[in-house]
Amino acid sequence: MFDTLSDRLAATFKGLRGKGRLTDADIDATAREIRIALLEADVNLAVVKEFVANLKDRCRSEEVSGALNPTQQIIKIVNEELVNILGGEDRTIRYAKTPPTVIMLAGLQGAGKTTLAGKLAMWLKSEGHSPLLVAADLQRPNAVNQLQIVGQRAGAHVFAPEPGNGIGDPIAVARASILEAQRKLYDVVIVDTAGRLGIDETLMQQAADIKAAVTPDETLFVVDAMIGQDAVNTALAFEEGVGFDGVVLTKLDGDARGGAALSIARVIGKPIMFASNGEGLKDFDVFHPDRMASRILDMGDMLTLIEQAEKHFDQEQSRKAAEKLMSGKGNEFGLGDFLSQMQQLRKMGPMSKIFGMLPGMGQMKDQIANIDEKEIDRIEAIIYSMTPAERDDVAILNGSRRARIAKGAGVEVSDVNNLVNRFVEARKMMQSMAGMMGGKGGGMPGMPGMGGPRKQAKSQAKKGKKGQKVSGNPAKRAAQGKPTAGEIVDAGAAFGVGAGAQPSEADMAAAMENFQLPPEMQRMFNQKNQGPR
C-alpha cells in the first residue's frame, strides 16, 4: 500500500547522501519533495502542512546542524514525525474490571466488519480470552449466516437469536447478548452492527441506540484503508453521530495509496488499534505506529517478524537443526530438516509477506512480488517422494533413485538434480558461515583484523612503525609501543591505527579492498552474476 510513498522518500534521501552539511536550500528542497510524496499518497492536507512545518523546524535545529551525518539525522526526524501522525503509541483493548468486556463494531457497508469480527475473536482467543460474537446486523441479506460461518472458522460461539434479512430488533439482540455472556461465562462480547452510510440518519440512530443499550467498553470504527480521504470524512461523521474509541484499518494489503492510515489518527484524535492485512483470519494484529513508520521508510519490521517466528517455530526442533548444521560433520543436516524448517516458515504467511518485513527489501519489491509459492509446493513434493534415508543423506541418490523420486513427485529428473545441488551448495555455504562465526580461531577468514586475537597480535607484533624492526627484547619492544604476541589488540589496532583509536575512512576503504569471501560464497555470487544458462 505504501510502495509509492516509500519510493519517493527513498529517492529524496538518496539525493542527500554524501553531504557533510545541509544548507537551507537543501532543507527546503527535501521538505518540498516529502510534501509532494505525502500529498500523492492522499494524506490529509492539514496533516501534511503540520508534518512539513515540524520537519523544517527540526532540520534547522542543533540536532541536524551539529550531527556527524545530517542525512541520517533527517531520516530519524522523518521517522519520528511519521510515528507521531500515526498515533505515537500502541493502544490495545481496555478490558472491563467485571466481565464481560463489550466491544462494538461500527463502520461503512463493505468495510469488512463481519470478517473482522471473526479475526478479532481469533486474536482474543490467542490472548487467552473467551469471546462471544453477536449477530446484531439484521439489515444486510445473509449477514447473520456469514457471521456464523466466520465464527465457526474462528472457533468462536455466535449468538444469533434472530434470522436477520430485515427481521428482528438489533437493539434487543445486543441487550440479550450481555445476559447470554454472563450466563455462559464469556469474558468478551463482540457486537457486529449493520453497515451504514454517514448520511443515513436512521441507521446512525440505530447504532447510537445499540451503544446506549450495551454501554460498550470499546467502540471500534472499522474503516477500509483503500478509500483515501473519504475515510477521514466518514470517521468524522461517525464520531459526531455515534462516537468511537479507536480505529481498525482493513485491507492494508491493497494497492491503494494509503492516505487514510496516515491521516485518520491525527485528524480524528483517536488511535489506530488494530490492522488487517489479508483475507485470512490470522491476518490481523495490533497496530504499531513505530513499526508502520519503519516499513514506510524501508527499514523493515523485524520485531513483527520475530514475534511471528516465536508463534510458529518449534524452538526445540529449530535448535536441533541448527546444531546439525553447525556440527561441521557435513551431512547431518538433511533434506528432512530443511523441509521441517521450511514448513514452519510457511506458517508465518506467504514468502512475499515475510521478505517484505526485512530491511531494504523495497528495492526488490518486484522480485518479491513475483515469488512463486507453487515452486515451494514442488520442492515439498520432491522431498516427500524420498525415503527417510534419502532425505538424511543425499549422497546416496544415484540415477535410479532420482528417476523414481521425479516420477513420484510428478516432475522432471532435472528438477530433482537442481534441488539436490542447490541444497548441497547452500549447506556448504551455511556451514562455512557457521565456521566463520564460531569455528576455530573465532574470526572471519579474509577479513583484515578478524583472524582471532592471537593471530592479530602476532601480525601486529611483526610490524614496525615506518619499517622499523621489532626488537626481541621485551623492554625494548615496550619502548617501541609494540604489543607482545600474547596481548590482545583492540578494534582500532586491527586496522593499524593504534590502540584506542578509531579507523579512518581511508583505513576502512583499504580493509574492504582486501576483503575476500569464502570460496563457497564467492562461487555462488559468480554463478548469480553469470545469469541463467
Tens digits of residue pLDDT in 80-116: 888 888 888 888 899 999 989 999 998 887 788 899 9
Show me where the domains of the chain are located. 3-85, 101-287, 313-437, 453-513
* pLDDT for the residue numbered 156: 93
Angstrom distance (rounded) from CA 51 to CA 49: 5
State yes or no: 111 annotated in a binding site.
yes
State yes or no: 108 annotated in a binding site.
yes
- Distance of alpha carbon 388 from its chain centroid, rounded? 35
274 pLDDT more than 50 = yes
Angstrom distance (rounded) from CA 50 to CA 45: 9
State yes or no: 311 annotated in a binding site.
no
DSSP string, 222-250: EEEGGGTHHHHHHHHHHHHHT--SEEEEE
Helix (H) or strand (E) holding 221: strand 218-224
Cell 536441533 belongs to residue: 320
Tens digits of residue pLDDT in 466-518: 444 444 554 554 555 544 444 433 333 333 344 444 444 444 444 444 445 44
State yes or no: 193 annotated in a binding site.
yes
* pLDDT for the residue numbered 512: 45
User: Cis before residue 216, ω within 30 degrees of 0?
Assistant: no
- Write down the architecture of domain 313-437 according to CATH: Orthogonal Bundle (1.10)
State yes or no: 393 annotated in a binding site.
no
The b/e string for 348-370 (b: 16+ C-beta within 10 A; e otherwise) is bbbbebbbbbbeebbeebeebee
Higher-scoring residue by pLDDT: 201, 269: 269
* pLDDT for the residue numbered 296: 77
228 pLDDT more than 70 = no
The reply to whether CATH 1.20.1600.10 applies to domain 3-85 is: no
State yes or no: 114 annotated in a binding site.
yes
State yes or no: 252 annotated in a binding site.
yes
Angstrom distance (rounded) from CA 262 to CA 254: 15
State yes or no: 112 annotated in a binding site.
yes
Cell of 136: 446484531
Give the chain's end-to-end CA distance (angstroms, integer): 36
State yes or no: 251 annotated in a binding site.
yes
In the sheet that holds 131-135, the strands lie side by side as 157-159, 131-135, 188-192, 101-107, 218-224, 246-250, 272-276, 284-286
Cell of 242: 455515534
Question: Quick one: CA dihedral 292, 293, 297, 300, positive or negative?
Answer: negative
Higher-scoring residue by pLDDT: 517, 344: 344
Tens digits of residue pLDDT in 235-254: 888 888 888 999 998 887 76
State yes or no: 92 annotated in a binding site.
no
**Other beta carbons within 10 Å of 388:** 9
Positions of E strands within 344-416:
none
Q: Could you tell me the pLDDT band of residue 147, with boundaries at 50, 70 and 90?
A: very high
Tens digits of residue pLDDT in 284-312: 888 888 887 777 776 655 666 666 666 66
Cell of 363: 528495492
**What share of residues in the chain are helix, strand, coil (percent, to 5)?**
55, 10, 35
Angstrom distance (rounded) from CA 167 to CA 354: 45
Superfamily assignment of 101-287 in CATH? P-loop containing nucleotide triphosphate hydrolases (3.40.50.300)
Cell of 446: 579474509
Tens digits of residue pLDDT in 165-219: 888 899 999 999 999 999 999 999 999 988 766 567 777 888 889 999 999 999 9
Angstrom distance (rounded) from CA 15 to CA 353: 29
State yes or no: 253 annotated in a binding site.
yes
* pLDDT for the residue numbered 146: 92
* pLDDT for the residue numbered 509: 47
CB 216, CB 101: distance < 8 Å: no
State yes or no: 194 annotated in a binding site.
yes
Mean pLDDT of 264-271: 84
**Which residues neighbour 65 within 8 Å (Cβ) at sequence distance 6 or greater?**
21, 22
Q: Considering just the CA atoms, what is the radius of gyration of the chain in Å?
A: 30
Angstrom distance (rounded) from CA 190 to CA 101: 9
